[in-house]
Structure 1
Amino acid sequence: MLPVAAMPQKKGRRISPELASLNAKIRRFAPTVITADVSRLSPGDRAALMKIIEAARLLDPLFLRQVWSGNERVKGRLEADNTALGRARLHYFLINDGPWSQLDENIAFIAGVPRERPPQSAHYPDDMTKEEFNQWVETLNDEERQKATGFFYAIRRDSERKLKAVPYSEEYREFLVPAANLLREAAELTANPTLKNFLNKRARAFLSNDYYESDVAWMELDAPIDVTIGPYETYSDRHFGYKAAFEAYVTLRDETETAKLARFSNYLQELENNLPIEPRYRNPKLGASSPIRVVNVAFSSGEGNSGVQTAAFNLPNDERVVNEKGSKRVMLKNVQDAKFNQILLPISRVVLNSTQQRDVSFEAFFTHILAHELMHGLGPQTIKLNGQETTVRKQLKETYSAIEEAKADITGLWALQYLMDKGVVDRRMERTIYTTFLASAFRSVRFGITEAHGKGIALQFNYLTDEGAIKFDERSRTFSVVPSRIKEAVRKLTHDILTLQAEGSYEKAKAMLDRYGVVRPQMQNALERLKNVPVDIEPSFPLAARDEKRRAR
Structure 2
Amino acid sequence: MQFKEMLHSKADAFLSNYYYDSDIAWVELATFEAFVAVRDDKTTDQVKLFGDNLQVLEQNLPVDNVYKSKDVTAAPIRVIQLLYNAEDVKGPQTVAFNLPNDERIVKDRGTSMVMLKNVSEAKFKHILQPISDVCITKEQQKLVDFDSFFTHTICHECCHGIGPHTIILPNGQKSTDLLPKSLLKSMYVSFLAQKGQALQFNWLYEKGAFILHPDETFSVDFAKVEGAVESLSREILTIQARGDKEAASLLLKKHCKMSEPLKIALQKLENIQVPVDIVPTFPIADKILQQGH
TM-score, normalised with respect to structure 2: 0.85
Q: How does 1:248-263 map to 2 (within 5 A)?
A: 248-263=34-49
- The equivalent of 2:64 in structure 1 is 278
CA deviation after TM superposition for structure 1 residue 304, in Å = 2.3
Is the 8 Å Cα contact of residues 198 and 262 (structure 2) preserved in structure 1? no
Of 130, 140, 155, the residue aligned with 1:346 is 130
TM-score, normalised with respect to structure 1: 0.47
Matched, 1:440 2:194: yes
Aligned residues: 282
Q: How does 1:349-364 map to 2 (within 5 A)?
A: 349-364=133-148
CA deviation after TM superposition for structure 1 residue 261, in Å = 1.0
CA deviation after TM superposition for structure 1 residue 147, in Å = 7.0
Matched, 1:495 2:279: no
Query: Counterparts of 2:109 and 2:231 in 1: how far apart (Å)?
Result: 30
Letter in 2 for 1:497: I
Query: Counterparts of 2:190 and 2:44 in 1: how far apart (Å)?
Result: 22
CA deviation after TM superposition for structure 1 residue 341, in Å = 1.2
Is the 8 Å Cα contact of residues 540 and 547 (structure 1) preserved in structure 2? no
Which stretches in structure 1 are left out of the alignment for 5+ residues? 1-54, 57-62, 64-122, 125-143, 153-208, 219-226, 231-246, 391-417, 446-456, 549-553
1:302-349, Cα deviation, whole Å (9 max, x unpaired): 55222x422112211121121234433211111111011112112111
Is the 8 Å Cα contact of residues 208 and 224 (structure 2) preserved in structure 1? yes
Query: Counterparts of 1:373 and 1:471 in 2: how far apart (Å)?
Result: 28
* Local SS of the residue matching 2:168: strand
Query: Counterparts of 2:18 and 2:86 in 1: how far apart (Å)?
Result: 23
Matched, 1:530 2:269: yes
- The equivalent of 2:90 in structure 1 is 305
Letter in 2 for 1:252: V
Matched, 1:370 2:154: yes
- The equivalent of 1:471 in structure 2 is 211
The 3 A distance-change label for structure 1 pair 149 and 530 is same
Letter in 1 for 2:65: P
Letter in 1 for 2:53: Y
The 3 A distance-change label for structure 1 pair 434 and 211 is closer
CA deviation after TM superposition for structure 1 residue 278, in Å = 1.0
The 3 A distance-change label for structure 1 pair 440 and 547 is farther
CA deviation after TM superposition for structure 1 residue 211, in Å = 4.6
1:70-125, Cα deviation, whole Å (9 max, x unpaired): xxxxxxxxxxxxxxxxxxxxxxxxxxxxxxxxxxxxxxxxxxxxxxxxxxxxx99x
Letter in 1 for 2:225: I
Is the 8 Å Cα contact of residues 289 and 327 (structure 1) preserved in structure 2? no
Q: How does 1:64-463 map to 2 (within 5 A)?
A: 148-151=16-19, 211-212=23-24, 215=27, 229-230=31-32, 247-286=33-72, 288-306=73-91, 308-385=92-169, 386-390=171-175, 418=176, 422=177, 424-441=178-195, 445=196, 457-463=197-203
Query: Counterparts of 1:146 and 1:334 in 2: how far apart (Å)?
Result: 34
* Local SS of the residue matching 2:269: coil
The 3 A distance-change label for structure 1 pair 373 and 547 is farther
Is the 8 Å Cα contact of residues 348 and 439 (structure 1) preserved in structure 2? yes
Matched, 1:509 2:244: no
Q: Relative to structure 2, which stretch is displaced further, 424-433 or 269-278?
A: 424-433
Aligned-residue CA RMSD in angstroms? 3.2
Query: Counterparts of 1:352 and 1:466 in 2: how far apart (Å)?
Result: 18
Is the 8 Å Cα contact of residues 13 and 19 (structure 2) preserved in structure 1? no
1:476-512, Cα deviation, whole Å (9 max, x unpaired): 1011101111010111111001001101122222222
* Local SS of the residue matching 1:519: coil
Q: How does 1:2-21 map to 2 (within 5 A)?
A: none
Query: Counterparts of 1:373 and 1:352 in 2: how far apart (Å)?
Result: 26
Q: Percent identity of the aligned residues?
A: 38
Query: Counterparts of 1:379 and 1:301 in 2: how far apart (Å)?
Result: 32
Is the 8 Å Cα contact of residues 296 and 334 (structure 1) preserved in structure 2? yes
CA deviation after TM superposition for structure 1 residue 430, in Å = 2.7
Letter in 2 for 1:296: Q
The 3 A distance-change label for structure 1 pair 364 and 503 is same
1:390-434, Cα deviation, whole Å (9 max, x unpaired): 1xxxxxxxxxxxxxxxxxxxxxxxxxxx4xxx3x32222133111
Matched, 1:542 2:283: yes
Query: Counterparts of 1:477 and 1:271 in 2: how far apart (Å)?
Result: 36
Query: Counterparts of 2:155 and 2:182 in 1: how far apart (Å)?
Result: 17
Is the 8 Å Cα contact of residues 249 and 300 (structure 1) preserved in structure 2? yes
CA deviation after TM superposition for structure 1 residue 151, in Å = 2.8
State the structure with more CA Rg: 1
The 3 A distance-change label for structure 1 pair 377 and 478 is same
Letter in 2 for 1:483: F
Query: Counterparts of 1:383 and 1:499 in 2: how far apart (Å)?
Result: 10
Which stretches in structure 2 are left out of the alignment for 5+ residues? none
